[in-house]
Amino acid sequence: MTIRTILATGIFGLGALLAACSSDDSRTPAASGDALYVRLGKADGIETVVADFLERVKADAKINGYFLNASVDQAHLSACLVKQIGEATGGPEKYDCKSMADAHSNLGISRQDFDDLVGHLSDALVAAKVEQKDVDTILGVLGPMAADIVRDETNDATVYQRLGRKPAIQAVVTDFHSRVMADAAINSFFATTDANRLATCLVRQVCMATGGPCKYGDEIPDAEPGVKSACRTMKDAHTGLNVAYADFQELVTDLVAALDAANVPADDKNAILGVLAPMCPDIVEKDACQ
Amino acid sequence: MTKRRAASVALLAGAVVAASVGYWRHRARAAAQHWVAPVLVDPAAGARTPSSEILGVRVGATRLVEVQRLTGAKGLSCADRSVRVLMGELRDKKRAEIAAAEAAGKPDAVSGASILTRKTARDENPQVRFSCDGVRSGALGDRARPEGVGRLLYVFDDANGPVRHASYQRNHDDWTAALADYEDARRALTEKLGPPRESSSMPKSGAAPGGPLPKYGRRVAEWKFSDVVATVSVGNLGGRGFSVSEALEVPLPLRPDAPVR
């Protein structure tokens, strides 16, 4: 996924708004000319809304996987959003970032991702004291554009979506971590590890492995708990430690137990473990993985 | 108060605040870099295990030297595979890499060499993981068992305390053999501990009883007492055969000698 593509993910909702505005002048925010742009507070007001919107999105584990990757140029993302809203609401800004049409084809954005993002835009507009009729106008033209953006209308195209996105993965990882720490056979490997960093890296690993938007190894320093630097590859993290295959098996057993406890369906469990199990050779050195 | 005096006071206050922040950050960092022993507790009220004997030891009582004597007498190849020891091996490996690089005239070619001088919290963890690899089931000698080869593991909180965890984990290529091994271990522990609570990810319907576990499926028999937990499990390794494990341990944060107190 390119930086531009990830960037475009963040602005898909507002891109749809732009598209809507340019396609039907009789009912779009642009139709009210400078009025809406002025009512939003012009560039300064829009920048405030965008900043708040991005904070809300990045704090929402359901969708922040699209944004919390170091390869996303946050400043560029913010600038594009301001341009987009400015132009869409009749301001002088010119949107010159990547077109929305091309941006979303490979992201697997689900209906619930889209709805959550729209919800945060709505909240940011309301928080900026934008009148409800203007919020409704903006959101009213946004909704129909989902067809151009959403690639997973039923929220089940990937294991990531079926599991329940990052919050569900976080719950599984929390359970998994507690099982490992209670497992006398292997807990010493993790006893002195930064629990927050371990959890964040595990969540990102499973998120990516299940078809989610997280990019393991592409972490933004301090954006997520415990992560001051990028999560290391399995090989880097375990080189020289001579971890035994039996220990790896024990770890997998704890993960299976956590997935079972979360009632993850067999096919999805197989998909997750099918991605993680081949990492065995990067972790185990003492014995060859069988 | 003169402007100069006010400025001095402000400067001093700023220095104190900065020093305090630095001190607390340093303490937080230092705490993260040191091993912190768990706070151990006595078992809660409830049924105690009728027996903590397994794999030739009495969990909660048998000491490391006795385990070393026991495994030595059986001719098993065992060693401490604790994370502390593994860190030592990592340093040995790094030293060898550096020596090789220096011999090749590339002294800067080794990355991660700082580990040689940097002690980590892992180095302070006193746990002993006495591990015997490639152990044939017939060599265990505690009871007649189905044929199998696996890892025998005894875990101690430290070199002086009683064994906290004992387990024997072995793999089978064949489901029939794995199931027979699982059933045998379950039967043996049931005789000692009573009926287990059993859970399984076996197909609920449409599958023959005793048929293979689904991929990554598990079947677990568990005995829970206030002082120990015992488990026997069989798991499908997803195309890599089947794993059978039997284990008995004093769960954290109970004190390791809980079964004999």
pLDDT tens digits for range B13-71: 666 555 555 544 544 454 456 888 889 999 999 999 999 999 999 999 999 999 999 99
Cβ contacts (< 8 Å) between B238 and chain A: which residues?
A: 270, 273-274, 277
DSSP E strand stretches across chain B: 53-54, 57-58, 78-80, 128-136, 149-156, 163-172, 197-200, 218-224, 229-236, 242-249
Residue count (chain A): 290
Rounded average pLDDT over B225-239: 93
Residue B122's pLDDT band, with cuts at 50, 70 and 90, is confident
Handedness of CA B97, B99, B104, B106 (dihedral sign): positive
Q: Average the pLDDT over A145-155 and give the result.
A: 87
- Residue, of A243 and A157, whose pLDDT is higher: A157
Give the span between the Cα atoms of B244 and B251, in whole angstroms.
20
Q: How far apart are CA B39 and CA A128, in angstroms?
A: 50
Q: What amino acid is encoded at A227 in this protein?
A: V
- Nearest Cα of chain B lies from the Cα of A81 at a distance, in angstroms, of 38
What's the pLDDT score for residue A24? Answer: 36
Give whole-number Cα distances, B104 to A63, A100, B97, B110, B115, in Å.
51, 55, 10, 12, 21
Q: What is the pLDDT of residue B206?
A: 46
B253 cis-preceded (ω within 30 degrees of 0): yes
Among A132-136, B230-234, B247-251, the least confident range? A132-136
Predicted confidence at residue B147, as pLDDT, reads 94
The predicted model gives A12-22 an average pLDDT of 37
Residue A99 binned pLDDT confidence (cut-offs 50, 70, 90): confident
Minimum Cα–Cα distance from B217: chain A residue: A256
Q: What is the pLDDT of residues A215-254, one digit of tens each?
A: 999 999 999 999 999 999 988 888 777 788 899 989 988 9
User: Which residues of chain B are within 8 Å of residue A233 when distances are taken between CB atoms?
Assistant: none
If pLDDT is split at 50, 70 and 90, which confidence band does B157 have?
very high
pLDDT at residue A4 is higher than 90: no
Region of poorest pLDDT, from A98-107, A279-288, B34-43, B139-148: A98-107
B162-193 pLDDT, tens per residue? 999 999 999 999 999 999 999 999 999 999 99
Q: What is the mean pLDDT of residues A42-60?
A: 96
Q: Can you spell out the DSSP letters for B16-61?
A: HHHHHHHHHHHHHHHHHTS------BPPPSSPPPS--EETTEETTT
User: Rounded to 10 degrees, what is the CA torsion of B184, B189, B190, B191?
Assistant: 100
Chain A residues inside the 8 Å CB shell of B233: 253
Residues 6+ apart with CB under 8 A from A10: A54, A57, A66, A67, A72, A77, A81
A90 vs B29 pLDDT, higher one = A90
Residue A78 has pLDDT above 80, yes or no: yes
Count Cα atoms within 13 angstroms, Cβ side, for A264: 30
pLDDT for position B201: 67
Q: Report pLDDT digits (tens) over A219-229.
A: 999 999 999 99
- More confident: B28 or A198: A198
What was the pLDDT predicted at A204? 96
pLDDT at A81: 87
**Helix count and strand count (H, E) for chain B:** 5, 10
The pLDDT value given to residue A8: 39
Is the model's pLDDT at A92 over the cut of 60?
A: yes
Chain B residues with CB-CB distance to A184 below 8 A: 155, 164-165, 249, 251-252
**Min Cα–Cα distance to chain B from A106, Å:** 30
Amino acid at B179: L
The confidence score (pLDDT) of residue A1 equals: 38
The percentage of residues in chain B with a pLDDT greater than 70, rounded to a whole number, is 82
| CB-CB under 8 Å, A273 with B216 | yes
Q: How high is the mean pLDDT of chain A?
A: 84
Q: Å from A266 to nearest chain B CA?
A: 8
CB atoms within 10 A of CB A251: 22
A68-73 average pLDDT score: 92
Interface contact B216-A256, CB threshold 8 A: yes
ipTM of the modeled complex: 0.76
**Which pLDDT belongs to residue B18?**
57
A181 to chain B: which residues are within 8 Å by CB? Answer: 252
Size of interface A-B (CB pairs under 8 A): 94
Mean pLDDT is highest, among B89-103, B105-119, B144-158, for B144-158
Q: Which of A188, A269, A290 sits opposite B240 (nearest CB)?
A: A290
Side-chain half-sphere exposure of A74, counting CA atoms within 13 A: 15
In chain A, residues with a C-beta closer than 8 Å to the C-beta of B249 are 184
Q: How far is A164 from chain B (nearest CA, A)?
A: 21
Q: What is the mean pLDDT of residues B223-248?
A: 94
pLDDT of residue B21: 52
Position B160 pLDDT exceeds 80: yes
Give yes or no for a contact between B202 and B219, defined as CB atoms under 8 angstroms apart.
yes
pLDDT score of A32? 45
Please say if the pLDDT value at position B109 is more than 70. Answer: no
Ranges A52-66, A260-274, B22-36: which has the least confidence = B22-36
Q: What mean pLDDT comes out for the span A8-28?
A: 38
Average pLDDT, chain B: 86
Q: Which residues have a Cβ under 8 Å from the Cβ of B67 and sit 6 or more positions away?
A: B57, B130, B154, B163
Two structure tokens written together for B116: 């040689």
| pLDDT at residue B26, rounded to an integer | 47
**A275: helix, coil or strand?**
helix
Mean pLDDT of A187-215: 91
For chain A, report the end-to-end CA distance as a whole number of angstroms: 33
- Residue B38 backbone dihedrals phi, psi, to 5 degrees: -65, 150
CB contact under 8 A, B216 and A241: no
Gap from A219 CA to chain B (nearest CA, Å): 21
Please name the residues in contact with B73: beta carbons below 8 A apart, sequence gap of 6 or more: none
C-beta atoms of B83 and A257 within 8 A: no
How far is A89 from B43, CA to CA, in rounded Å?
A: 67
Share of chain A above pLDDT 70, in %: 85
Query: B58-85 in b/e burial notation, b at 16+ Cβ within 10 A?
Result: bbbebebeebeebbeeeebebebbbbbb
pLDDT > 90 fraction of chain B, expressed in percent and rounded: 57
- DSSP secondary structure string for all residues of A114-126: HHHHHHHHHHHHH
Give the per-residue pLDDT at B194: 97
B104 vs A41: which has the higher pLDDT: A41
Confidence check: pLDDT of B111 > 90: no
